[in-house]
Amino acid sequence: MKKREEQEEPTEEAAELESSASDAATMDAGSLASERDEYLANWKRAAADYQNLRRRLQSDIDAAVARRKASLLGDLLLVLDYLDMALATPVSTEEGKTLHAGVEATRTALLGALEREGVKPLPEGGRFDPAVHASVATDDESGAEPGEILATLRRGYTHEGKILRPAQVRVAGEKS
């Protein structure tokens, strides 16, 4: 019987262990909450970093595509210049007129494709603007006001509001 009584009565040691266990549980709950908050903050930071990375990568891709597209459009504008030069050549034979009509159709198709991609020609004439024109010649004896565009030697174009190629112009200079 003594053994039964010993087992049923809580000893001082058991009471101390129970007390320290409840204190540890309270401490563990506090440390677990702070650990949880730290993990949550780290997760939010990682999620924000990931979103920033996705945005930056998309921006880099868009910029690379725009650079390549501008290069290709510039090359196509050179082809358009060659077609314009071919059309400026006078033709007198029937075969030449047929070839001229084919070149005209090709130029029209190419110009349509460029316009669908957002390429627009710069207006001709007016005053010289170094942001959109490149002066390749000046004429001091023209009689026009200085800075007036006398002739457009090579047409300029814009793409999505940016200068793709400046117009090459001859400008009236200062009168001597």
Q: What is the pTM of this model?
A: 0.67
Task: Please check the confidence at residue 8 and state whether its pLDDT lies above 60.
Answer: no
Task: Please check the confidence at residue 2 and state whether its pLDDT lies above 60.
Answer: no
Task: Please check the confidence at residue 3 and state whether its pLDDT lies above 70.
Answer: no
Say what angle helices 12-88 and 94-116 make with each other, to 10 degrees. 160
Task: Collapse the DSSP code of 171 into the 3-class scheme (helix H, G, I; strand E, B; otherwise coil) and give the result.
Answer: strand
- The average pLDDT across 23-51 equals 87
Q: Is the dihedral of CA 124, 77, 118, 58 positive or negative?
A: negative
> Which two structure tokens, joined as six digits, stand for 64?
């690379």
pLDDT in tens, 121-176: 999 888 999 999 999 988 887 778 888 899 999 999 999 889 999 999 999 887 76
- The average pLDDT across 89-115 equals 95
Phi-psi bin for 142: left (phi > 0), alpha (psi -120 to 50), beta?
alpha
Between residues 9 and 145, the one the model is more confident about: 145
Quick one: pLDDT at residue 140? 80
β-partners of residue 138 are: 171
Please, what CATH class does the domain formed by 121-176 belong to?
mainly beta
Quick one: pLDDT at residue 13? 67
Going by pLDDT thresholds of 50, 70 and 90, the confidence category of residue 1 is very low
Q: What is the layout of strands, in order, in the sheet containing 149-154?
A: 133-139, 167-172, 149-154
Residue extents of the structural domains in the chain: 13-117, 121-176
pLDDT in tens, 41-95: 999 999 999 999 999 999 999 999 999 999 999 999 999 999 999 999 999 999 9
Quick one: pLDDT at residue 55? 97
User: Which stretches does DSSP call E strand in the chain?
Assistant: 119-121, 133-139, 149-154, 157-159, 162-165, 167-172
Between residues 23 and 75, the one the model is more confident about: 75
Contact between residue 103 and residue 86 where contact means Cβ atoms under 8 Å apart: yes
| Integer angstrom CA distances of residue 108 from 16, 84, 103, 115, 122 | 96, 10, 9, 10, 17
Task: Please check the confidence at residue 16 and state whether its pLDDT lies above 70.
Answer: no
